[in-house]
A and B are shown apart, each in its own frame.
Chain A
Amino acid sequence: MTSSRVAVLGAGGFIGSRVVESFHLQGFAEVRPIVRRISGLARSRRFNLDPRIADACDAQALRAALAGCEYVVHAIAGDNATIVRTVEPVYRAAEHAGVRRIVYVSSASVHGQSPAPGTDESTPLREDQPIAYNNAKVKAERKFLRMRANGRVEIVMLRPSIVYGPRSSWIGGFADELLTGRAFVVEGARGVCNGIYADNVVRVIQLALTAPGVDGHAFLVGDEETVTWRELYEPVTKAFGIGFDEIPSITRSVPTQSGFERMLRFRDSKLGQALLPVFPLRLRHATYTGLAAWLQYQPGRSPSVMEAELTPVPDLERTLLQTCAWKLPSDKAKRMLGYSPQVSFTEGCRRSVEWLRFAGYPVVHHDGG
């Protein structure tokens, strides 16, 4: 593999930057980082690599960027529209460049944030889920498969769920919430966390690039251990000398979808998409902003209530994730890709906390650090 050239789309992002770092430092392949903007080069340019600038919606720029690459890792993050919109130009450019295979970093969210017991890759996917991100990922996967049906480039889709590790929002974002007093959990964070340490994702990407007989397949991938959200968060709270039980725990709210989320869902629906163009852009923007503010407004708040006493309202995603009851299986990836998690959950948490220290967070305690 070391003589192969692998393009990493989304090289400035959390997963993409770790893929670049690991592939390059391991000598696994010649890596070509590709980012949308020059500013996205900061992480890749720590190395003496030859990065390219190309917007993944710009087929012409992509063609030039992918020239000479045999494999593509698609790890582009973005809004829901971008997730779907990048599929075709990436596939077409890869085909033009003679790429053998694209490994698409999809998401276990295609099965929802709280999948039903028994869920695996054979479970039918839906495009009418309450969280628009999930639908976008489903659409992207389907679009890749349609492109593959008429194209030459192989496609393998990976579905990691909660990818944690250095630069992960699950770690850094939670740390920020803790340090600014905004952290809370839902129902004690006792739900199953379908976590996968970033290096285990990198490992499965490596395998997916060259494994035979996996073209067109999708794979759920996770850590070996079954853990709760509390177990993921506790090393972070400990690192800052905060007891986990000091964090407010919110009871799951009855309406699982906020008004704002309902509005977004309407916006993304077929009816919404058909109706919206009728209205002028300014009116749409004003309505959107106004509705968002109105739906966030909580009337009847007493001026005597201290700020700290206000109860945080969990959003739908957090509620579903932290009350999840099903550990998604990695059996298919183990069977067909030869996947075996290289980093244990405990070690992944240790490295994550070490990164917090590196990034300048006030780490005061570390198990075995």
Chain B
Amino acid sequence: MRANIASAQRVNIALLGCGSVSSIYHAPALEQLEQSGVVRVAGIFDPDGEAVARLTERFPSARRMSSPDDLSGMDLAIVASPSAVHARQSIDALRAGVTVLCEKPMASSVQEGDAMIAAAAESRGLLAIALVRRFLPATQAVRSILANRILGELRSVACFEGGPFRWPARSPSFFDRSRGGVLLDLGAHMLDLLVWWLGVPDGIDYEDDAMGGVEANCRFVLQYDSGIRVEGHLSRDWEVPNRYFFDCGKGWMSWMPTEPEAVQIGFHDTSFVLGAELHDRAFFGRPVAGRKSINFEQAFIFQIRNVVDAMHRHASLVAPGADALKSLRLIGECYRHRKLMNMAWLTDIESATARTEAGRVP
């Protein structure tokens, strides 16, 4: 196996899947890392030859891979294919001795996620999941503020995220039932962050608006034995506040996913709000603000860099597969116990059909 490669050696990367997430986020990050001499994009695979051609222009030294398991000479596979094949491609790569950075959601089902973890353990390989939000300065600040109880004991969290769906999906199959709806898509990020910040909840309640298809809206409540209550709301339908709000004993904190470098903090005994922009600490560890911290696009560079550092044994994975499996299990629980949301605008006849159709959602 090649996971423990020499530090000076460039990591050969296979990019599996040339869809929007690859062209918009991974490719620019890889271009930067190639220029820095950290990696080399050595192979690209996608069933769509035109999509491969577009990315190969950006990485001229990459070869067109004949199949996703054509991995000879590769050190790291970035699995950015449709989520239905995440598990198969990741497992094949791990068994071939190749480290995997798999896009979120890590898999379409808990069973697939378990199989991926088992394959990583059997091959003693590294499996990272692209839960890129863990690399954002704001989410790290939130984690630190909560862990250190800077605003006192956390009492409740309210998370609203989404808006009219705008992701440049390439195929209508993006909305296939096997790929889940907004919960498995955007919820993979939200639930991962919540578990990362607060741990695995002790109870969960879930409802969505799938009526024979995939949900565009969903709502969940997580309960913790400590008394913390988390309400989450995700939408592909309507512009929701896009805000994570933390109510604590001494004050509150708010983070907007559209602002990866900023948090707001308020104290219960003042009427002012601290609008905090996150900066890196200045060089030499002095307690002053240095340059502005990284943005969302740059987080993709740090994400790949973290996997490379882990391969060199210079760091541990920030988003290992085992962590991602925790939120995937929660998503599985949600779908298993799904209830139909109350849509009070439906007529009686419509509601009756909606309930029947919702009952058919597997």
Contacts and interface: CB of A to CB of B under 8 A. Distances in A.
B234 to A, nearest CB: 10
Interface string B77-107: 0000000000000000000000000000000
A205 B330 CA distance: 43
B27 to A, nearest CB: 21
Given A25-B350, A43-B237, A46-B211, A354 B344 contact: yes
Interface stretch (A47-55, A73-81, A268-276, A321-329): A47-55
A346 to B, nearest CB: 14
Q: Is the interface of A mostly helix, strand, loop or mixed?
A: helix
Interface string B328-362: 00000000000001111111011101100100100
A284 interface: no
B244 to A, nearest CB: 13
Nearest to A342: B347
Contact of B354 (A25, A165, A176, A199): A25
Contacts of A38: 168-172, 174-175
Nearest to B241: A360
Contacts of A176: 239
A100 B154 CA distance: 62
Contacts of B219: 360
Interface stretch (B117-125, B159-167, B286-294): B159-167
Interface in B165-211: 165-172, 174-175, 181-182, 209-211
A27 B356 CA distance: 13
Contacts of A352: 345
A210 interface: no
B175 A45 contact: yes
Contacts of A41: 165, 172, 174-175
A240 interface: no
Interface string A265-298: 0000000000000000000000000000000000
A89 to B, nearest CB: 21
Contacts of B209: 46
Contacts of B181: 45-46
B172 A51 contact: yes
Interface in B33-87: none
Nearest to B243: A360
A210 B341 CA distance: 33
Contact of B349 (A26, A53, A166, A369): A26
A358 B217 CA distance: 9
A342 to B, nearest CB: 9
Most chain B Cβ neighbours within 10 Å, of A21, A48, A49, A199: A48
B133 interface: no
B235 A359 contact: yes
Interface string B276-318: 0000000000000000000000000000000000000000000
Contact of B353 (A27, A166, A167): A27
Contacts of A334: none
Contact of A351 (B175, B341, B344, B349): B344
A18 to B, nearest CB: 8
A41 B176 CA distance: 11
Given A25-B350, A26-B350, A38-B169, A46 B215 contact: yes
A211 interface: no
Nearest to A18: B345
B216 A43 contact: yes
A359 B237 CA distance: 9
B115 to A, nearest CB: 28
B181 to A, nearest CB: 8
Given A21-B350, A53-B172, A199-B347, A360 B213 contact: no
B322 interface: no
Contacts of B241: 360
Contacts of A40: 165
B175 A358 contact: no
Nearest to A167: B238
A182 to B, nearest CB: 15
B26 interface: no
A355 B240 CA distance: 13
B99 to A, nearest CB: 32
A290 B327 CA distance: 49
Nearest to B351: A25
A48 B351 CA distance: 16
A24 B212 CA distance: 11
Given A41-B175, A167-B238, A360-B240, A26 B347 contact: yes
A188 B236 CA distance: 35
Contacts of A47: 211-213, 357
A42 B216 contact: yes
A269 B233 CA distance: 46
A39 B169 contact: yes
B263 interface: no
A228 B74 CA distance: 69
A357 B238 CA distance: 12
Please name the 4 residue pairs, one residue from A and one from B, whose CB atoms are nearest each other, closest first: A48-B212, A354-B344, A25-B350, A42-B165
22 contacts: A25-B350, A25-B351, A25-B357, A38-B169, A38-B170, A39-B165, A39-B169, A41-B165, A42-B165, A45-B175, A45-B181, A46-B209, A46-B216, A48-B213, A49-B212, A49-B213, A172-B239, A358-B343, A359-B235, A359-B238, A360-B160, A360-B241
Given A25-B349, A355-B344, A360-B241, 12 more contacts: A25-B346, A26-B349, A38-B171, A38-B172, A39-B167, A41-B165, A42-B236, A44-B213, A46-B209, A49-B213, A51-B172, A199-B345
